[in-house]
Amino acid sequence: MSKLKKTLIILFVAVGLTSCDVINQIAQMANFANCSFNFNSVNQIQMLGVNLSKGMTKSDLNAAQLLTLANAVIKKELPVTFNVNLDVKNPNAIAAAMSKMDYILTLNGKQVVSTTLSKAINVPANSTNTVSIPITTDLFQLFSGESADAIINLAFKLAGASSDPVNVGLKVKPYITINNQQLAYPDFISMNKVLN
């Protein structure tokens, strides 16, 4: 028996839950023990407010954008935003649901963010839902020991501009609210994707 299912049974007995609604919530959370989580893609990449399309390189920037980039290098600030897309496949005969999800993201082994996606996610029976996780970071702060060129190139690598791969790691932990209590999946679920 999985850790999650043991935890759910203990919770059920401990608080004496009999409500059909609550029992259904427990069943939906238990279904996450059978769901598979797969790293789909990274998209909607923006650097200094500039959309980085697939394969875009520094030479594709216009004069105004290059000036903005030069100023960012002087200030040692390079804000980047992007979405990490996660596929959640539910092979069960009934829906799986969670109320929120903790996540940790790394780029080339460096932790970018550790926070919570505070929105309910429902995956219908025998279906796959794609969950978009918004990421905001400053690459200069994250990779402060590297050269400006290396840091700028990393942003373009996220958009697939180089054969030099970027290793993106993702860990997630789902939660569900049962009888006003937050119940977490016992362990983080780890995934990895190499972008090139």
DSSP string, 128-173: EEEEEEEEEEEHHHHTTTS-HHHHHHHHHHHTT--SS-EEEEEEEE
User: What contacts 18, CB < 8 A, 6 or more positions away?
Assistant: none
The reported pLDDT for the residue numbered 182 is 80
Specify the pairing of strand 189-195 against strand 36-47.
Answer: unpaired
Span 28-33, mean pLDDT?
68
The reported pLDDT for the residue numbered 14 is 46
Query: Residue 23: which of 193, 178, 181, 128 has the closest Cα?
Result: 178
77 residue type, one letter: E
Number of other CB atoms surrounding residue 137 within 10 Å: 19
Question: Is the separation of the CB atoms in 6 and 173 below 8 Å?
Answer: no
Specify the pairing of strand 127-138 against strand 100-107.
Answer: unpaired
If one compares 89 and 15, the residue with the highest pLDDT of the two is 89
| Number of structural domains found in the chain | 1
88 residue type, one letter: V
Phi/psi of residue 123, nearest 5 degrees: -120, 110
Angle at 32 between CA 28 and CA 35, to 5 degrees: 125
CA-based torsion, 83, 88, 193, 114: positive or negative: positive
Structure tokens at 139: 């690459």
Q: Express as a percent the part of the chain with pLDDT over 70.
A: 82
Query: Which domain does 85 fall in, by range?
Result: 3-195
The reported pLDDT for the residue numbered 19 is 60
The reported pLDDT for the residue numbered 9 is 54
Q: Is the pLDDT of residue 127 over 90?
A: yes
What is the Cα–Cα distance from 32 to 3, expressed in whole angstroms?
A: 12
**23-37, 109-123, 162-176: which is most confident:** 109-123
The reported pLDDT for the residue numbered 29 is 64
Predicted confidence (pLDDT) per residue in 154-174, tens digit: 999 888 876 678 899 999 998
